[in-house]
Amino acid sequence: MKLNKAAILFFMGAIGMLNLFGCSEGPKYGQYSSRDPELGVTMQYPKDWSYSEARGANGSYAQVVFIEPKKKDKPVLAQIVLTVRHESKAGVKPPTQEAMKEDLLKKRLKFKDALVLSQSISEISGIKCDVLEFSYSLRKELYSLDGALVPIREKVIIFKNGEKFYIFRYRNTKQDFEKFNKAFVNCAGTLRFKI
């Protein structure tokens, strides 16, 4: 069968459009396994992102932060953050998931232009969790008092496993939020506890 030039160009254009509009492979993932026993988790994360683990003062929390690669034209980079707090250091009374959720709501609503976009209940690794979504404004330069404000969107998942609270969140600029929302959902869906 002989194809003419127009048919070849049509097929090449169709393949290009499939890749452009989302029928390509999608993001690649790496496997994260915490070094800090207080975190005690494994999960997938966007492979080209960097990550680092940290501990709060006096062991108040353990945390891993995943950050998208630096871009010149993007002042606020996307972050996926998992923070683990023992109930004795969570700062909420009583030490319940509901109290932790209410504390987070109160803190986020203090931000400039803060709105609660949604609240729902879901499940991670068989554990009931609260899912909250916010929008608010942050300074482009986080430590500057005169920096321009940037609209932010954040999704937070809160749950308790044993005596530990897990606060799992994804934050990005409002306009780029959807770009990594599926990656965050994948991170949450692959989260497993080390035994």
pLDDT digits (tens, 9 = 90+) for 117-134: 999 999 988 899 999 999
User: How many whole angstroms from its chain centre is CA 99?
Assistant: 22
pLDDT at 125: 84
Give the phi and the psi of residue 2 in degrees, each rounded to 5.
-105, 125
| CB-based burial, 88-103: b 16+ in 10 Å, e otherwise | eebebeebebebbbee
Going by C-beta distance under 8 Å and a sequence separation of 6 or more, which residues neighbour residue 88? 95, 163
> Quick one: average pLDDT of 83-95?
92
Q: Are 38 and 55 in contact, with CB atoms under 8 Å apart?
A: yes
pLDDT at 78: 93
| CB-based burial, 66-78: b 16+ in 10 Å, e otherwise | bebeeeeeeebbb
Q: Are 130 and 158 in contact, with CB atoms under 8 Å apart?
A: yes
CA–CA dist 172, 90 (Å, integer): 25
pLDDT at 72: 78
Which is more confident, 75 or 67?
Answer: 67
**Residue spans of alpha helices (H) in the chain:** 5-20, 97-108, 177-190
Q: pLDDT digits over 37-61, tens only? A: 999 999 999 999 999 999 999 889 9
Average pLDDT, the chain: 85
End-to-end CA distance of the chain: 60
